[in-house]
Structure 1
Amino acid sequence: MSAILEAKNINKIYDEGSVRTQVLTGLDLSVHAGERIAIVGTSGSGKSTLLHLLGGLDTPSSGEVWLHGKCLNTMNETQRGDMRNQYLGFIYQFHHLLSEFTAVENVAMPLLMRPKVTPSEARDKAISLLNKVGLEHRHTHRPGELSGGERQRVAIARALVTEPSVILADEPTGNLDYDNAQSVFGLLSELQTTLKTALLMVTHDRNLAALADRQLLLRNGHWAEFDE
């Protein structure tokens, strides 16, 4: 079975004046349909940088990122944006919801970027997703009127509204207490399984990572073996 998302010999180097920092070195990764992968590592190990490269939000210094058989490196920013909107969903530790918009409007926004989707279709789909994440009573609330757990549920609905092939989640429960974190991850896993979406999750939480099909340890920009 071919991979949906693939990284081939990824290197990422940042040059700041005379200082050169190699963040990632020779990484390979394949993500298949419906798979659940956790990338574990300490702060500064390169986890978020890798996620940005895989999502086409940044480009590698060398190596290639392939999404649905197309190389993101060779595309311009508009083309990469179209690929993200079509195939990827993003969830961040700090939800990144737009404060002036309601929950429904935030969730509908990725669909409104598609020229063939009408506002009413986007709204109906957003309402359906919000209901699935248990926010039937929060459709018209803005982020400032929601709890942390509720905001992250809105973020999950927004990531899933386009029915992406892969969800890229950067510390999706890192800003929540234990009970909320368990609830939110359980919900994300349930929806991800139902929609047959792959999940690639960056986390420092080994308990959360243990719930994935596959765990990968990133240490100083390299894949490493877990300590016993």
Structure 2
Amino acid sequence: MSAILEASNISKIYDEGTVRTQVLTGLDLSVKAGERIAIVGTSGSGKSTLLHLLGGLDTPTSGEVWLHGKCLNHMNETERGAMRNQYLGFIYQFHHLLAEFTAVENVAMPLLMRPKVSTTDARKQAIELLENVGLGHRLDHRPGELSGGERQRVAIARALVTKPSLILADEPTGNLDYDNAQSVFGLLSELQSTMQTALLMVTHDRNLAALADRQLLLRNGHWENY
């Protein structure tokens, strides 16, 4: 099976004045359709930096990232944005919902960025997905009117509404208590499996990582034996 996403010899260095910090060194990674991968590591190990590079939110100092056979490094920001909108969904530890918009408006937004999708169609698909995550009764509530678990469910719906090939999740349950974390991850896993979307998840929680098909340990910018 061919890979959805491939990273080859990825390194990232940040230069701040005379200080040079090597965050990642020579990483390779391949993600196949429907696969569930957990990247585990302590704070500061480079997990979030790697996810930003894989999602085209930043560019590596050296190495290449390929998404559906196209190299993100060789694109401008507009082209990378179009690739993200077409193929990727993002979930963060803090939901990053827009406070002034309702749940259904937040979920519909990625679809409205596509030129050929009408407001009516985007809303219809957003409502369907919100119903799937158990929030059909909260469609017109704004983030401030929702609980932490509900906000993260809205974030999951937003990530999946475009039917992406791959979800990139950065500590998706890290801001929730144990029961909410289990519930949200169970929901994410169920939807990911049903939609045959690949999942690449960054977490410090080894119990959560154990539920993935494959676990990778990132330490000081290198892969190590898990």
Q: Same fold (TM over 0.5)?
A: yes
| 1:29 lines up with 2:29 in the alignment | yes
2:103 is matched with which residue? 103
Amino acid paired to 1:51: L
1:119 is matched with which residue? 119
Unmatched 5+ stretches in structure 1:
none
TM-score by length of 2: 1.00
1:207 is matched with which residue? 207
Count the aligned residue pairs: 226
- Tell me by how many angstroms 1:225 deviates: 1.0
2:130 is matched with which residue? 130
1:93 is matched with which residue? 93
Amino acid paired to 1:22: Q
1:145 is matched with which residue? 145
Identity of aligned residues (%): 87
- Tell me by how many angstroms 1:118 deviates: 0.3
Q: In 2, distance between residues paired with 1:16 and 1:4?
A: 34
Q: In 2, distance between residues paired with 1:2 and 1:50?
A: 21
Q: In 2, distance between residues paired with 1:76 and 1:58?
A: 11
- Tell me by how many angstroms 1:50 deviates: 0.2
Secondary structure in 1 matching 2:3:
coil
TM-score by length of 1: 0.99
2:9 is matched with which residue? 9
Q: In 2, distance between residues paired with 1:136 and 1:22?
A: 46
- Tell me by how many angstroms 1:2 deviates: 1.3
2:82 is matched with which residue? 82
- Tell me by how many angstroms 1:14 deviates: 0.3
- Tell me by how many angstroms 1:71 deviates: 0.0
Amino acid paired to 2:216: L
Q: In 2, distance between residues paired with 1:165 and 1:139?
A: 25
Q: In 2, distance between residues paired with 1:138 and 1:220?
A: 42
1:162-177 matched pairs, under 5 angstroms: 162-177=162-177
Q: In 2, distance between residues paired with 1:170 and 1:103?
A: 21
Secondary structure in 1 matching 2:163:
coil
Q: In 2, distance between residues paired with 1:89 and 1:44?
A: 24
1:58 is matched with which residue? 58
- Tell me by how many angstroms 1:114 deviates: 0.2
- Tell me by how many angstroms 1:102 deviates: 0.1
- Tell me by how many angstroms 1:125 deviates: 0.1
Deviation string 1:123-151 (CA, Å, 9 cap, x unpaired) is 00000000000001100000000000000
| 1:195 lines up with 2:195 in the alignment | yes
Secondary structure in 2 matching 1:136:
coil
